[in-house]
A = this chain, B = another copy of it.
Amino acid sequence: MLKVTLEQGRELADVALEQLLPAASEYPISIHRAMRHSVFAGGKRLRPVLCMETARMIAGSLPPGIEELGASLEMLHTYSLIHDDLPALDNDDLRRGRPTCHKVFGEAIAILAGDALQTRAYEVLSELCCPPSARVRIIKEIAHGTGTIEGMIGGQVVDLEAEHRKPDLATVEYIHRSKTAALITASVVTGGLYAGANDDGVCKLRSFGQAIGLAFQIVDDVLDVTQTSEQLGKTAGKDTAAEKATYPALFGVDESLKRADGLLNQALQSLASFGTRAQTLNDLAHFLVERKK
């Protein structure tokens, strides 16, 4: 059942991305090819799936046009990956099993392709099929979740600056909450806003998103230590090599997985009042924590 949810969600997101991104043949060609290279690299589309399944839970069925919101979230996620992989940042050659954007198109075009994915995401968000009052709330939520104050960019900055230093819990938690959990939280919350969730619903969705977002990053860091590059489709062991501030570096693998499990329970609790309607989101939460890549 979950497999079908993931597969159908991925397909919906892919079709929307295909329609919403400029064609590879559109002038200027290089930037559009670069954007598509990184967006269509076999991602699982977890953020769109979380967004869409949240909207389905709130509205009772999939609201028309929600996949465009999902596609915007994936564009923002991809922009952050392209910039994160640059030589000046994580200097990674491999992403999802393929050469990274700057390896194929050069650094200049990779920087601009990341910029352009962010820009295009906001253009799409400004035209979503929901009332303007919901659209501006969604834009605010996403901009905050990807910004410098407890958002994605803030997390990347602290992540970079924490390299090669003895990590402390406050720093590791800030990085995880900001770098990854903030956009995952925004994916869940904006799915709810699109579907017309009330304030109480948004509050519960936010708790759910924060818990699974943090658990997701802990598991990501554990996999970096325990899996091979082939299993992951990206360079394994990078965090240890770069002396990154991670949960496993701080607590070891077993304790890290225990904490991820605690967060999973917290996430499930947050949605308890939705009863059986929360089944798919609960299944997704299990999947995010129990995945092997």
A residues near B (Cβ < 8 Å) are: 22, 26-28, 30-32, 35, 79, 83, 86, 88-89, 106-109, 111-112, 114-116, 118-120, 122-123, 125-127, 131-133, 135-137, 139-140, 143-144, 146-149, 151, 153-154, 156-158, 160-161
Contacts and interface: CB of A to CB of B under 8 A. Distances in A.
A137 B139 CA distance: 13
A238 to B, nearest CB: 16
Given A127-B140, A132-B135, A139-B126, A31 B148 contact: yes
Copies in the complex: 2
Given A108-B89, A161-B28, A161-B30, A122 B148 contact: no
A31 B157 contact: yes
B148 A116 contact: yes
Contact of A154 (B31, B123, B133, B140): B31
A27 B119 CA distance: 25
Given A22-B148, A147-B120, A112 B30 contact: no
Contact of A111 (B22, B86, B135, B136): B86
A26 B116 CA distance: 28
Nearest to A140: B126
